[in-house]
Homo-oligomer: A and B are copies of this chain.
Amino acid sequence: MTGPRLDRLSLNQRTTASWTLPQAVQGCVDAGLPAIGVWREQLAEVGLEEGCRLVREAGLRVSSLCRGGFFTATDPADVRAAEARNREALEEAAALGAATLVLVPGGLPAGDRDLEGARHRVATAVERLVPYAHELGVTLGIEPMNPVYAADRGVVSTLASALDLAERFDAADVGVVVDTFHLWWEPGVAEQLLRAGPRIVSYQVCDWITPLPADTLLARGMMGDGHVDFAAFSRAVGRAGYTGDVEVEIFNADVWAQPPAEVVATLSTRYLALVEPYLVEA
């Protein structure tokens, strides 16, 4: 399975949720994957220094650190706590040499129906983080999320609106995370990808499956099991000039129930069939 055609494939740790960071690093090495998307929770289990040593000695790139964000609190103490967590996450991303810190915008606070207000608070929080991100040389990656999550997870609902926000800042400081699950349905998404161009800091792939699993947070499918046209989407990402890693990020109880090494084998096969051939426009 190893070889040049896997040279942009990254395992997002959440796809193999039962693996510790050392296990996931070893899983990437065993499967010939050159990159990993690291989660803060698993990083904390081994500590930052040990985590950095593990990925460096394995020769892996860190395609992203997941996750910062959750910016929509209104209580001042919660706002300060979110900022502190994000500054810490930026320091970890810098230490890991991660291509980006993925920012999940956050949903509506309990009982709050002011979606515009929540979107405004995301913009304010990003603005406050930019100087420290710049100082550390980390690019913030705003992740627009499928509208199914607008209430409870991410109030930035389209690539177009993520770009409206990102473009207020230098591209080196603020980019966008492009995830097929979140964006496959967006009208005009190919044009928005072209608009994004160098702002694309991460390309994440997984499928939109129906019927949607009962827990919408675990609704993502293995590429090929659902409705996403990965060829068309990956071509558009390629045309936008993206040459970075392609992360497979799947939250799905059935996937998590399988042996992780088998999941990595399956996602590698699906990636080679459905994604990789289309990444570079002829």
Contact = CB atoms under 8 A, between A and B. Distances in A.
Contacts of A147: 146-148, 185-186
A227 B227 CA distance: 28
Interface in A152-183: 152, 157-158, 160-161
A212 interface: yes
Contact of A148 (B114, B148, B158): B148
A148 B216 CA distance: 10
A150 interface: yes
B228 A113 contact: yes
A32 B107 CA distance: 38
Contacts of A187: 119, 157-158, 160-161
Contact of A211 (B146, B185, B216, B227): B216
Interface string A184-212: 11110000000000000000000010111
A230 to B, nearest CB: 8
A152 B208 CA distance: 11
A187 B228 CA distance: 23
Contacts of A115: 184-185, 227, 229
Contacts of A186: 147, 157
What's the dominant secondary structure at chain A's contact region?
A: loop
B227 A185 contact: no
A151 B208 CA distance: 8
Contact of A210 (B114, B152, B210, B229): B152
A113 to B, nearest CB: 4
A210 to B, nearest CB: 5
A137 interface: no
A57 to B, nearest CB: 41
Interface in A57-77: none
A282 interface: no
A147 B184 CA distance: 9
Given A146-B148, A212-B216, 18 more contacts: A113-B227, A113-B228, A115-B227, A115-B229, A116-B232, A146-B147, A147-B148, A147-B185, A148-B148, A150-B184, A150-B227, A151-B185, A151-B226, A152-B211, A157-B185, A158-B187, A212-B212, A214-B214
Interface of A: 108, 113-116, 119, 146-148, 150-152, 157-158, 160-161, 184-187, 208, 210-212, 214-216, 226-229, 232
